């Protein structure tokens, strides 16, 4: 049951043993799967390189230090981008006209320019010649300052880990979100004291559909707390405090998805978050956000995460809340391979690829646990360098808290047997109500018991060659390769439109946010992309 808030979790925190390959997968088949994913993904990368979005352009301004909102609460980044788009368009980016106007108008900063733009007092042009060179230089200097802050944050994270300690894996990932950031903070600190290694602050329902990022600390949210720069700052400071108290670094995660994906990624980097939910298709399938908008935004977001040393978490687990976890298992593998390709192309290291999957097979199915082990082992062996994020059962939680607690224990056992590295804590009250602190205490106790009692089994599990686990893993990989061939031939956008992932159909020209996609024109200028692409890092740092 619940222990005093200042009491450290009992029992040793042993690092999970290294899990050697146990399925003997054919390297040629694995190589073919990756090659097919690259062939399917490259047209999306080409599309992303040829387009920008309003959120990418707003992220440029935020990385240059623009924050704040006008009297109506609309962020100044939105006001400035909208004004530039209305007057001269965004085909050449926001930076050139914005910094040109800043220099011509003698404004002290971007905020003053944005306020005048919102009032209709600022004029914009696409400069040429010396004026264009001056604007580019000024923009590059501003963005170099933003990236210097991001680089300093990455160094500060490493320094704090060295001063405290890095908890052994699996990292215990626990969700906190009351709607009120001031209430989230003590709950997050209490969860850390009970053993949580990663605190995830769920966003308020519907924030992913907002085409702006709210400003300031927020105290009202529905089933979650708004993702804002100030909320990020407050929670990071609170977790730094408890990290020093406990002598281990407690990580913070939030959600870089939805219509403001690039901006939230930028704010997370500026405030030293450690993980971000950042899936290539989640917003398309589950929030009906336009596929083109999402796939363009995700590339820029992942470039920012790569620079900041942030681990991304992908959302394949969500497919199994709508599709059958057995019939749809191969779609999880396909999505993971695509997420890996997109992530690596954007600069993410394998250690930053928190690829997702979930324990969602119907427990009434005979041999359901063996099938779960097959799926989890397959994912583990396909992505040996990735810190996999394993999600607990949700779809088959019935409200019977005793059966739910047992099912969560089986999930925890599957995790330690197969070497998962980011373990989201299952709640016995899943789907009944927002968890109480006592629910979280019991869930963490469940994890600790299974990890301490059975962690050593990971090195002893050897699936029987030709047995059920072995056959099932090979079947899923074969099905994934067949599907990847189809996606390569017909195109990823067409596959999404046909409901390949999560059985939900999303046409490429449907959904929210398509009006925010802009084709780049000759002369497009984005100083953030220059730095992220590595072309002007030294130049920017020297200015």
pLDDT (mean) for 346-373: 97
The model's pLDDT over 342-356, given as tens digits with 9 standing for 90+, comes to 999 999 999 999 999
Q: Within 13 Å and on the Cβ side, how many CA atoms surround 303?
A: 24
The pLDDT-based confidence of 19 (bands split at 50, 70, 90) is low
Is a pLDDT exceeding 90 seen at residue 29? yes
389-391, strands of its sheet edge to edge:
353-354, 311-313, 275-277, 251-255, 198-201, 171-176, 422-424, 389-391, 356-358
The verdict on residue 3 lying in a domain is no
The verdict on residue 144 lying in a domain is no
Nearest to 198 by CA among 234, 159, 160, 172: 172
Query: Which two three-digit tokens encode residue 490?
Result: 């017909």
Range of the domain at 232: 27-39+161-497
| 200: three-class secondary structure by DSSP | strand
**Alpha-carbon span 132 to 251, nearest angstrom:** 42
Is a pLDDT exceeding 50 seen at residue 128? yes
The verdict on residue 140 lying in a domain is no
| 75: three-class secondary structure by DSSP | strand
Q: Which of 17-31, 75-89, 173-187, 204-218 has the lowest mean pLDDT?
A: 17-31
The model's pLDDT over 387-428, given as tens digits with 9 standing for 90+, comes to 999 999 999 999 999 999 999 999 999 999 999 999 999 999
Q: Which residue has the higher pLDDT, 472 or 2?
A: 472
Domains in the chain, number: 1
The pLDDT-based confidence of 10 (bands split at 50, 70, 90) is very low
**Alpha-carbon span 223 to 229, nearest angstrom:** 19
Helical H segments across 23-172, by residue range = 27-50, 54-63, 76-88, 95-105, 110-118, 129-163
**Alpha-carbon span 520 to 51, nearest angstrom:** 5
CATH of the domain at 380: 3.20.20.440
The verdict on residue 348 lying in a domain is yes
Model confidence, pTM: 0.92
The verdict on residue 126 lying in a domain is no
Percent of the chain whose pLDDT exceeds 70: 95
Q: Which residue has the higher pLDDT, 458 or 300?
A: 300
| Residue 388, CA distances (Å) to 191, 372, 456, 518 in order | 22, 15, 19, 34
Q: What does the pLDDT read at residue 14?
A: 40
| 357: three-class secondary structure by DSSP | strand
For 500-538, b where at least 16 C-beta lie within 10 A, e where not — what string? bbbebebebeebbbeebbbebeeebbbbbbbbbeeebbe
Q: 241 CB contacts (<8 Å, ≥6 apart)?
A: 189
The model's pLDDT over 184-212, given as tens digits with 9 standing for 90+, comes to 999 999 999 999 999 999 999 899 999 99
The verdict on residue 123 lying in a domain is no
Active-site residue numbers? 282, 317, 389
- According to DSSP, the residues that pair with 105 across neighbouring strands are none
The verdict on residue 301 lying in a domain is yes
pLDDT (mean) for 268-293: 94
Q: What does the pLDDT read at residue 18?
A: 55
- The bridge status of strand 353-354 relative to strand 251-255 is unpaired
Burial class, 33, CB count within 10 angstroms (exposed 0-12 / middle 13-18 / buried 19+):
buried
Query: Which two three-digit tokens encode residue 532?
Result: 């992220």
The verdict on residue 532 lying in a domain is no
Contact criterion met (CB below 8 Å) for 355 and 320: no
Q: What is the DSSP letter of 258?
A: G
Is a pLDDT exceeding 60 seen at residue 539? no
**Average predicted confidence (pLDDT) for the chain:** 92
């Amino acid at each position: 049951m619940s222990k005093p808030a200042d009491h450290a979790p009992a029992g040793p925190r042993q690092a999970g043993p290294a899990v050697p390959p146990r399925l003997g997968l054919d390297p040629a088949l694995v190589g073919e799967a990756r090659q097919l994913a690259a062939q399917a993904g490259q047209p999306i990368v080409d599309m992303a390189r040829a387009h920008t979005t309003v959120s990418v352009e707003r992220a440029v301004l935020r990385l240059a230090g623009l924050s704040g909102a006008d009297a109506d609460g609309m962020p100044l980044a939105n006001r400035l981008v909208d004004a530039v788009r209305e007057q001269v368009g965004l085909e050449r980016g926001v930076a050139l006209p914005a910094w040109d106007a800043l220099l011509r108008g003698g404004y002290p900063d971007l905020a003053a320019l944005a306020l005048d733009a919102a009032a209709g007092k600022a004029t914009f042009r696409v400069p040429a010649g010396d004026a264009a060179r001056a604007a580019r230089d000024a923009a590059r200097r501003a963005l170099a300052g933003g990236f210097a802050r991001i680089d300093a944050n990455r160094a500060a994270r490493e320094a704090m880990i060295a001063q405290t300690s890095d908890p052994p894996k699996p990292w215990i990932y626990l969700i906190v979100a009351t709607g009120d950031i001031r209430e989230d903070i003590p709950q997050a600190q209490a969860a850390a004291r009970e053993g949580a290694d990663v605190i995830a602050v769920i966003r308020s329902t519907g924030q992913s559909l907002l085409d702006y990022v709210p400003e300031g600390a927020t105290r009202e949210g529905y089933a979650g707390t708004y993702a804002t720069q100030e909320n990020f700052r407050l929670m990071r400071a609170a977790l730094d405090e408890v990290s020093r108290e406990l002598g281990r670094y407690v990580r913070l995660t939030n959600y870089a998805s939805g219509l403001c994906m690039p901006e939230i990624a930028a704010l997370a980097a500026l405030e030293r978050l450690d993980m971000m939910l950042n899936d290539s298709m989640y917003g398309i399938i589950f929030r009906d956000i336009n596929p083109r908008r999402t796939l363009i935004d995700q590339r820029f977001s992942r470039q920012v995460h790569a620079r900041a040393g942030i681990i991304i978490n992908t959302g394949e687990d969500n497919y199994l809340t709508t599709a059958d976890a057995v019939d749809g298992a191969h779609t999880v593998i396909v999505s993971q391979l695509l997420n890996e390709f997109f992530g690596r192309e954007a600069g993410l290291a394998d250690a930053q690829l928190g690829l997702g999957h979930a324990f969602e097979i119907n427990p009434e199915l005979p041999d359901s646990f063996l099938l779960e082990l097959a799926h989890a082992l397959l994912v583990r062996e396909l992505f040996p360098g990735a810190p996999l994020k394993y999600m607990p059962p949700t779809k088959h939680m019935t409200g019977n808290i005793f059966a739910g607690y047992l099912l969560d224990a089986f999930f925890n056992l599957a995790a330690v047997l197969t070497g998962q590295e980011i373990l989201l804590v299952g709640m016995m009250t899943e789907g009944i109500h927002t968890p109480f602190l006592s629910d979280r205490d019991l869930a963490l106790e469940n994890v600790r018991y299974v990890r301490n009692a059975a962690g050593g089994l990971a090195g002893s599990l050897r699936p029987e060659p030709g047995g059920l686990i072995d056959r099932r893993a090979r079947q899923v990989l074969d099905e994934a390769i067949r599907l990847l061939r189809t996606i390569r031939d017909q195109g990823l956008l067409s596959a999404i439109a046909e409901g390949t992932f999560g059985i939900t159909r999303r046409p490429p020209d449907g959904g929210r946010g398509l009006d925010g996609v802009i084709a780049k024109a000759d002369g497009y200028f984005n100083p953030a992309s220059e730095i992220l692409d590595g072309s002007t890092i030294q130049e920017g740092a020297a200015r």
